[in-house]
């Protein structure tokens, strides 16, 4: 989930994204194995700036967290969806046939994000653009008019996870476990199984369960969101100034800012987690949705 609210943060993040080869004028990558045996009410969830949307176990899309910035628009009404991703103003959903449908929030129709052609196995969304992994493992992207993607990932690589930074920058985990970001040869060292991007910050889970966040933050602009605790994690998510992860026992642990309670998860066992700007949502192992923090905070 990405947006900018002050000039100092924008200036720092501009430098951050240039370091990673991403243009700052421009989400949440989850490693979804397509498990058909999920239990409970919710299958997956994604937190954005204004909304949190998820896919229920019956294949329908619902947006249970809505702020005062307008409704989530014309949410698709089908019952064959397996993934939904939420950006700032736009949302995209992936159905079981691999087709993607995108739409925009109520009151924001000047530059809607179009729906792409082709078939995909996984999608991600930023502010102005979306990207997906196709059936061959390659990444293709689409964008709003006037905000074309131009930081492409190496075409020869095959990928199994993807995230879209603010604007026109995609990062992916290839089938060898290495992270690649469009427009640069630099990437964090190690083999990764899953990662997520926030407002210029990224965190990833390595094959040994260690969480690594980057870039380096000597001025503490991200206020602790890039300083993960030790130990083993199986999943990680990044918000604006906080990050959270799921440990091997299913417990959630967060780090970074917590003024709205966004880093204070409840005592529960989770199988999915997603960080918004000032709130976090998670799906318990029983399939129930939990939220902490304040999605109305700005």
pLDDT greater than 70 at residue 28: no
Q: 14 falls in which pLDDT band (50, 70, 90)?
A: very low
Instruction: Considering only residues 33 and 247, tell me which one the structure prediction assigns the higher pLDDT.
Output: 247
pLDDT in the model for residue 137: 96
pLDDT over 90 at 150, yes or no: no
pLDDT at 126 over 80: yes
Of residues 9 and 152, more confidence is placed in 152
Using one digit for the tens of pLDDT, what is the confidence trace for 209-242? Answer: 999 998 877 788 788 899 999 999 999 999 989 9
Residue 201 has pLDDT above 90, yes or no: no
Grade residue 108 by pLDDT with cuts at 50, 70 and 90.
low
42-88 pLDDT, tens digit per residue, is 999 999 887 899 999 999 999 998 777 767 888 999 999 999 999 88
Note the pLDDT of residue 24.
39
- CATH fold for domain 7-293: Methylamine Dehydrogenase; Chain H (2.130.10)
Residue predicted with more confidence, 167 or 115: 115
Model confidence at 37, pLDDT cuts 50, 70, 90, reads: low
Identify which of 165, 163, 194 has the alpha carbon closest to the alpha carbon of residue 177. 194
Give the tokens for residue 293. Answer: 């923090």
Residue 74 CB-density burial (10 A; 0-12 exposed, 13-18 middle, 19+ buried): exposed
Burial 244-279 (b: 16+ CB within 10 A, else e): bbbbeeeebbbbbbbebbbbebeeeebbbbbbbbbb
The H or E element spanning position 275 is strand 270-275
Quote the distance between the C-alpha of residue 240 and its chain's center: 11
DSSP character string of 134-175:
ETTS-EEEEE-TT----BPPPTT--EEEEEE-SSSBEEEEET
Residue 279 has pLDDT above 70, yes or no: yes
Residue 115 has pLDDT above 80, yes or no: yes
Task: Report whether the peptide linkage leading into residue 9 is cis, meaning its omega lies within 30 degrees of zero.
Answer: no
- What does DSSP assign to residue 114? P
pLDDT score at 285: 96
Domain boundaries, the chain: 7-293
Q: With contact defined as beta carbons under 8 Å apart, do 247 and 234 qualify?
A: yes
């Amino acid at each position: 989930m990405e947006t900018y609210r002050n000039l100092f943060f924008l200036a720092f993040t501009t430098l951050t994204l240039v370091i990673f080869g991403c243009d700052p004028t421009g989400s949440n990558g989850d490693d979804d194995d397509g498990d058909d045996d999920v239990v409970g009410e919710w299958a997956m969830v994604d937190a954005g700036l204004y909304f949190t949307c998820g896919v229920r176990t019956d294949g329908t899309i619902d947006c249970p967290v809505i702020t005062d910035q307008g409704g989530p628009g014309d949410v698709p009404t089908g019952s064959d969806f397996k993934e939904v991703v939420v950006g700032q103003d736009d949302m995209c959903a992936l159905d079981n046939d691999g087709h993607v449908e995108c739409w925009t929030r109520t009151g924001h129709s000047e530059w809607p994000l179009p729906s792409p052609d082709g078939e995909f196995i996984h999608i991600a969304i930023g502010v102005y653009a979306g990207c997906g992994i196709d059936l061959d493992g390659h990444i293709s992207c689409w964008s709003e008019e006037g905000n074309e993607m131009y930081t492409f990932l190496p075409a020869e690589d095959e990928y199994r996870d993807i995230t879209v930074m603010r604007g026109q920058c995609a990062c992916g985990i290839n089938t060898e476990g290495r992270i690649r970001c469009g427009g640069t040869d630099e990437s964090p060292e190690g083999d990764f199984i899953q990662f997520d991007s926030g407002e210029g910050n990224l965190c990833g889970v390595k094959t040994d369960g260690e969480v690594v966040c980057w870039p380096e933050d000597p001025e503490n602009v991200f206020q602790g969101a890039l300083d993960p605790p030790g130990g083993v994690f199986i999943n990680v998510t990044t918000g604006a100034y906080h990050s959270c992860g799921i440990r091997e026992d299913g417990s959630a642990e967060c780090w970074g800012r917590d003024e709205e309670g966004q880093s204070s998860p409840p005592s529960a066992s989770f199988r999915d987690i997603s960080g918004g700007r000032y709130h976090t949502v998670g799906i318990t192992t029983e399939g129930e949705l939990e939220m902490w923090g304040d999605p109305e905070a700005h």
